[in-house]
Chain A
Amino acid sequence: MTTGNIQLLSDTLAKARAENRAALIAYLPAGFPTVDGGIAAIKAVFDGGADVVEVGLPHSDPVLDGPVIQTADDIALRGGVKIADVMRTVREAHEATGKPVLVMTYWNPIDRYGIERFTEELAAAGGAGCILPDLPVQESAVWREHADKHGLATVFVVAPSSKDERLATITAAGSGFVYAASLMGVTGTRESVGESAADLVRRTRATSELPVCVGLGVSNSTQAREVAAFADGVIVGSAFVKRILDADGDEAAGLTAVRELAAELAEGVRRVS
């Protein structure tokens, strides 16, 4: 049995911490703008300086995503993206770079596909774990059993509204890292990162040794630097997707744009304090 790359994920985050910087974690949906185009975009993002990539498994009903990622999911689904394509994306992105690659998706596709089948295939593809934002910890026991068996991390999301007691429950069940939502809202770029983020990171750290990475709203190097001052990782999604949408079908221009954004953000996460 192949084992997933949870250890590679932990090592990567530990290495960034040892370098006294935050890790840069990028999100891009599989199948966007095409399956091969999506794989090329992930390689470009790694090439620009991302430490970890989350591959989105597009869903018909992305209730936690803003208009940018909704549009990308629509394009990917209309292009006919399947779970097999997501697995190929993970495999090729990981094999080409040796870097940790996670999957982020809603719960129904995995529930329907079969938990054992999904975790087995993801581990075989070299995946490092999963982020499942609509699978709350109290419904996650069966998933975690399979993920653990296959060496995959279960990254839970915490929010500014999470009470301390609940943070402890969530971090005790999670592995890899903790995804701290910087603000109350859906994905999308924002002018500023909420002040609640630093407080949430502090409260989360009080419950666990896991790295705490901050996402939602971060789109430029100034924000990345701000967040890097208090978090172990900076997660950026919509800003990458938007660069590809703005390239309007020019694949080379899209790849250049995401590589440049990754380089700019990678600069930002190298903490200046």
Chain B
Amino acid sequence: MSSEFFIPDPDGQVPTPEGYFGAFGGKFIPEALVAAVDEVAVEYEKAKADPEFARELNDLMVNYTGRPSALTEVPRFAEHAGGARIFLKREDLNHTGSHKINNVLGQALLTKRMGKTRVIAETGAGQHGVATATACALFGLDCTIYMGEVDTQRQALNVARMRMLGAEVVAVKSGSRTLKDAINEAFRDWVANVDRTHYLFGTVAGPHPFPAMVRDFHRVIGVEARRQILERAGRLPDAAIACVGGGSNAIGLFHAFVPDADVRLIGCEPAGHGVETGEHAATLTAGEPGILHGSRSYVLQDEEGQITEPYSISAGLDYPGIGPEHAYLKDSGRGEYRAVTDDAAMQALRLLSRTEGIIPAIESAHALAGALEVGKELGKDALLLVNLSGRGDKDMDTAARYFGLYDGEGSK
């Protein structure tokens, strides 16, 4: 087994030097951030070429994160998916409980290389915030996390974790008070404090180089999973399935499979109460091309370019944008995107808990619900790979209310 876990894209076809994945991407940022964003791009190129950076990051990924993450077959769960074989890539077993740590450790090392002493980040479900607060504790960096007020309430456990780790958590009260607004506020902080501050962006969106750089830090997910499933099942999967909010865990899983034309790449977007109700965050299903948070991609917006407020039961997917590489995969036909409702995700969350003893994050449960559908579509010979991007401890309050698990409440 290879000991390399930092595996930047060897292909290099996309993005272009200007950060374009086909028609999507680019760098739509205020002049005040141009120098800082360029500095990130230059430093990342230097880091990629520096064996010492790879050595440090690989060491952290093995001895701190606990890579490689396991691949778990889930036969009792798969009985509900038309008899398909289903393997889960266990990013929930990483330190801090999700895939987010992969990107955070890479960017934290980059922060040190740039000589910056303060890190800011946005967070939705709190997984990226917790991972960032963790890395800042490890490296002795000041840390401020922006989180929508709605999310600080539904993910209160993660707020406490971030504060325990020494981070300042700012509850953002503007707009829909969710992930989008947390990103707005983080950008405002960055513009004002850019000299000593790195914006440790948590997904494969934002201005170039973030979409490509964050993808590179997560590529390890798919590289490991591809090797593991070949060893265990003797062949490549029929489909690789992941949830998509901004799209980081999905691109991490998909990327190593892009050249494997027979492997379908299926992203599961949050349909909330149903795409037809208007209360959803299914950006690729219902959005139009536009610019949000520094790049061109699909965006949920009205006829005049105002961003519409998204909705999902999952704080981590409750976002009206999507990484530009997903927009590119969708338009090129290489990626497929389908929408999964709150209810389907919650049922899948309970099903995996009860059949396999694994409580997934509500985000990841969207991918599990998608896998149940795809399994039924493909029949019993199908082989599916699902990214279990995070664990569900943080979601127990939401789940307990949803299913009536607290004493004195009825069951749903």
CA distance A62 to B187 in the complex (A): 10
A110–B34 CB distance below 8 A:
no
Residues on A with beta carbons closer than 8 Å to the beta carbon of B16: none
B299–A108 CB distance below 8 A:
yes
Most chain B CB neighbours (cut-off 10 Å) among A111, A113, A156, A157: A111
Known A-B contacts A63-B184, A156-B31, A159-B31; the reply to A112 vs B304 at CB < 8 A is: yes
Residue of A nearest to B173 (CB): A67
Residues on A with beta carbons closer than 8 Å to the beta carbon of B403: none
B304–A109 CB distance below 8 A:
yes
Interface assignment of A75: CB less than 8 Å from any CB of chain B: no
Residues on B with beta carbons closer than 8 Å to the beta carbon of A181: 31-32
Interface assignment of B180: CB less than 8 Å from any CB of chain A: yes
Residues on B with beta carbons closer than 8 Å to the beta carbon of A163: 35
- Bitwise, B2-45 to A at CB < 8 A (1) or not (0) is 00000000000000001000000011111110111000000000
Given A134-B291, A181-B32, 10 additional A-B pairs, CB 8 A: A62-B184, A63-B187, A108-B291, A135-B28, A136-B30, A159-B32, A161-B32, A184-B195, A185-B32, A185-B192
A64–B30 CB distance below 8 A:
yes
A161–B291 CB distance below 8 A:
no
Residues on B with beta carbons closer than 8 Å to the beta carbon of A192: none
A170–B290 CB distance below 8 A:
no
- Among the listed A61, A135, A186, which residue makes an inter-chain contact with B307, where contact means beta carbons less than 8 Å apart? A61
A83–B304 CB distance below 8 A:
yes
Interface assignment of B175: CB less than 8 Å from any CB of chain A: yes
- Among the listed A62, A113, A136, A166, which residue makes an inter-chain contact with B304, where contact means beta carbons less than 8 Å apart? A113
> Ordered nearest first, which 10 A-B pairs have the shortest CB separation?
A112-B305, A109-B305, A159-B32, A185-B192, A60-B306, A108-B305, A161-B35, A108-B291, A63-B187, A60-B307
Q: In A157-199, which residues have CB < 8 Å from any B CB?
A: 157-163, 166, 170, 181, 184-186
Q: In A48-77, which residues have CB < 8 Å from any B CB?
A: 59-64, 66, 70, 77
A159–B301 CB distance below 8 A:
no
B32–A184 CB distance below 8 A:
yes
CA distance A157 to B30 in the complex (A): 8
- Among the listed A62, A109, A158, which residue makes an inter-chain contact with B31, where contact means beta carbons less than 8 Å apart? A158
B346 to chain A, nearest CB (A): 29
A184–B305 CB distance below 8 A:
no
CA distance A107 to B294 in the complex (A): 10
A271 to chain B, nearest CB (A): 27
Interface assignment of A273: CB less than 8 Å from any CB of chain B: no
Interface assignment of B380: CB less than 8 Å from any CB of chain A: no
8 contacts between A and B (CB under 8 A): A59-B305, A64-B30, A107-B28, A108-B301, A111-B290, A113-B305, A138-B18, A162-B34
B35–A162 CB distance below 8 A:
yes
Residue of A nearest to B299 (CB): A108
CA distance A110 to B28 in the complex (A): 13
A196 to chain B, nearest CB (A): 11
CA distance A225 to B306 in the complex (A): 37
Q: In B366-388, which residues have CB < 8 Å from any A CB?
A: none
- Among the listed A63, A110, A133, A139, which residue makes an inter-chain contact with B188, where contact means beta carbons less than 8 Å apart? A63
- Bitwise, B148-163 to A at CB < 8 A (1) or not (0) is 0000000000000000
Q: In A238-257, which residues have CB < 8 Å from any B CB?
A: none
- Bitwise, B178-197 to A at CB < 8 A (1) or not (0) is 00100010011001111100
CA distance A66 to B174 in the complex (A): 11
A67 to chain B, nearest CB (A): 8
Residues on A with beta carbons closer than 8 Å to the beta carbon of B336: none
